[in-house]
Chains A and B, each alone.
Chain A
Amino acid sequence: MTDWNAMSDAEFRKEVRGFLEAEYPEELRHLPHRPKFAEIEHWHRKLHTKGWVAPAWPAEYGGMGLNAAKLLIFYEEQQRWGVNRGRDMGVQMVGPLIIKFGTQKQKNYWLPRILSCEDIWCQGYSEPGAGSDLANLRTRAEIDGDDFVINGQKIWTTMAHDATHIFMLVRTDPDAPKKQQGISFVLAPMDQPGVEVRTITTLSGETEFCEVFFDNARTPRENLVGELNKGWTMAKALLSFERIFIGSPSLAQNALGQLESFARGRGAFDDPVFRDRFAQAALDVEDHAALYSRFADQLKRGETLGADVSMLKIWVTECFQRITELMIEAAGPDGGTVGPLQVGNVSVDVLASFYKARPTTIYGGSNEIQRNILSKAVLGLPD
């Protein structure tokens, strides 16, 4: 077993880059949509053989055991090469939760199946009445013998139509005094009569989001992770790393690169107004990266991140949107055209980029929610 953490950062980066550049399929680079598992299965097999499916998991569970510094490098290299995240909900979300709060039996059963993608997971958190106010969720799980019986509805469930299992937050005690209490974390199989999935067509015409309806669906009681009614605190405990990851510069950096080659091909830089707006966007990205490094250094020193890390997400997502808007501007009369626009040897799908940028200020805690968090937790502003 290689101790990756013992390597120098530069060595490790070289190792990761070398593997990705040699092995990652060219046709999957910078995929504009979320793939179904079948589309990326051959890449997943390679990763699995290499033992690199779960970089953050401890080695004893089949992960790479990377520390925060190495983990950042791993993700930076993935993003640099345009490597698709794959169907990583299992690895990113449910795996760490089982590792932290699950029983030995749960670990033994579920973790290897996550690594091999024998089970493909989707995340059942949001509901029609519980988006930004997630704790308002109403989907019920009632104990009936050895099972939970689940009734209710989840929404914005990414790729639920291509998942075998769902991990979900459900209400197990409707009489708890606070709505954050009485929520539990359960795992459930998708393939059963009480579960119905309907895809949602997005503005860009994709169907990656779904609604999931539960009508007396069942899951064994042993699929409860952690304590009953403690699901909220558990789910929140996992968000620390997620919060720097969601604010990483890569999306905006990649879009800026696209914008630059596209704008150059279209002659947009002849216009001094466009030049200035491009310079603003480019500096917004560069200066964000400086702030990102500050937080990354904190992680590397082994410190935990404070609520202030939310500012990365606010800045970079809004910047990402401005960049994609500049692409549309540079496209001129082609700005409403569906599909890739060819300029010289560059092909840029400006509408796809534009649409891709829209939900970034909504998901992962909308930017308005992030501002609420910062104003309370960081600035100490009163209620």
Chain B
Amino acid sequence: MQSSEQEEDLRLLRESARTLFDRAGGSGRSRKLRDAGGEFDPDMVRELGEAGVFGVAVPEEQGGLGMGLAAGGVIAEEVGRVIAPEPVVATIGLGLGLLRRLCPEHPKLEQLIGGEASLAVAWQERGPGGASADATCRYADGKLTGGKAWVVGAGGTQDFLVVAEADGGPVLVLAEASADGLVTTRRAQADGSSLGELSFSGTPAAELACGAAVQGALSEAVADATALAAAELVGLSQRAFEITLDYIKTREQFDKPIGSFQVIQHRAVDLNVMCEVAQAAVREVLMRMDGETDASIRARLASRAKARAVTAARKVTRDAIQLHGAVGYTDEFDIGLYLNRALVLSAWLGDDAYHRRIWFDAREEEGAAQ
């Protein structure tokens, strides 16, 4: 049970974030950006930075609000509700997660918190069946060689934070987006955003950190981002459900609102229950991650959250299309935007089947260790 003081803080944070996104245009803003071919709005990033959104989970002594991942989850839920295209979760979880753990003195940290800089994190690599477990992207003599994949926010970023292999182990380096020998390919995503594929050939980059600490910080940051992505899916699912509920209350067939038919009502209830379970589970996970220092337990919690959130978002957004009927299949209705965003967020950092596997294996390992 959270303290009532903390609960109140989170409630206020939720209110102000909701107001901020609604004033900016809600989900309509997301549609406009997509139609204009833009990935996200740099002005919005600055505004979010000024409002303190990015720094919620950064400790106060490092220039953040020190409210923990639970607060990050509040922000992520609100991002999900309006399907905001800005890489908020990637920034809070990955970018700031790495910088604050590995080089809190670096000026980028403050700039990123303030929304004055953009920084996309490149850490995954493509393997034969998906993400590769081994990094082959090399860093030597101040230069990067190799490739990275699935980079969120690659389209509009000034800099890349790259995790690469050096002779002494893993390193974290900073490369400018405009650096020599860097080719960025955008892979279009269902929601109008893109994921970047980076190819480095002797690209100059500055080393920020090296050694085992990099691996540790990366695992932690990925766990944070995974749990926050789950929270984003929770907000998204909740809003998609609300839109659908409104629709079935007003759409009439056979001279009655379709929401008066029992089969529709029971399906709506199942979606509602799914949303509530997901919200309770993901919020509990974020609270527990804030109080947990063991990295493997934090990772297991994050997997639990993502597994649940993806399962819920899949069910909710797909049933939402069905309950909308034919108009649900048109681009004109907003519900499709939610489906598309859910597809992208579900695939990013692992879907439910993947995370159940990770969760189960971690549970077995823990059981064997006891």
Contact = CB atoms under 8 A, between A and B. Distances in A.
Interface of A: 275-276, 278-280, 282-283, 286-288, 290-291, 293-294, 297, 300, 308, 311, 314-315, 368, 371-372, 374-375, 378-383
B260 A379 contact: no
Contacts of B304: 283, 286-287
B117 to A, nearest CB: 36
Given A293-B284, A294-B280, A381-B249, A374 B360 contact: no
B32 interface: no
Given A311-B272, A311-B276, A381-B259, 10 more contacts: A276-B360, A282-B360, A282-B363, A286-B281, A290-B281, A290-B284, A291-B280, A371-B265, A374-B269, A381-B245
Nearest to B285: A290
Most buried by B among A294, A308, A311, A381: A381
B257 to A, nearest CB: 5
7 pairs of A and B residues whose beta carbons are closest in the complex: A287-B281, A375-B265, A291-B280, A290-B284, A290-B280, A279-B356, A279-B360
Interface of B: 1, 245, 248-249, 256-257, 259-260, 262, 264-266, 268-270, 272-273, 276-278, 280-281, 283-284, 304, 307-308, 353, 356-357, 359-360, 363
B248 to A, nearest CB: 7
Given A297-B1, A381-B260, A382-B249, A287 B268 contact: no
Nearest to A300: B1
Given A368-B266, A375-B265, A287 B308 contact: yes
Contacts of A374: 269, 272-273
A294 B276 CA distance: 10
A96 B309 CA distance: 41
Contacts of A382: 249, 256-257, 259-260
B273 A314 contact: yes
A288 to B, nearest CB: 6
Contact of B277 (A280, A282, A288): A288
B4 to A, nearest CB: 8
Contacts of A280: 356
A315 B277 contact: yes
Contact of B357 (A279, A288, A308, A371): A279
25 contacts: A276-B353, A276-B356, A276-B360, A278-B360, A279-B307, A279-B357, A282-B360, A282-B363, A283-B304, A283-B307, A286-B281, A286-B304, A287-B278, A290-B280, A293-B280, A308-B276, A311-B272, A311-B276, A314-B269, A372-B262, A375-B269, A380-B249, A382-B249, A382-B256, A383-B260
Contacts of A276: 353, 356-357, 360
Contact of B359 (A283, A297, A378): A283
A371 B1 contact: no
Given A291-B281, A381-B248, A315 B268 contact: no
Most buried by B among A276, A278, A279: A279
Contacts of B356: 276, 279-280, 283
A381 B360 contact: no
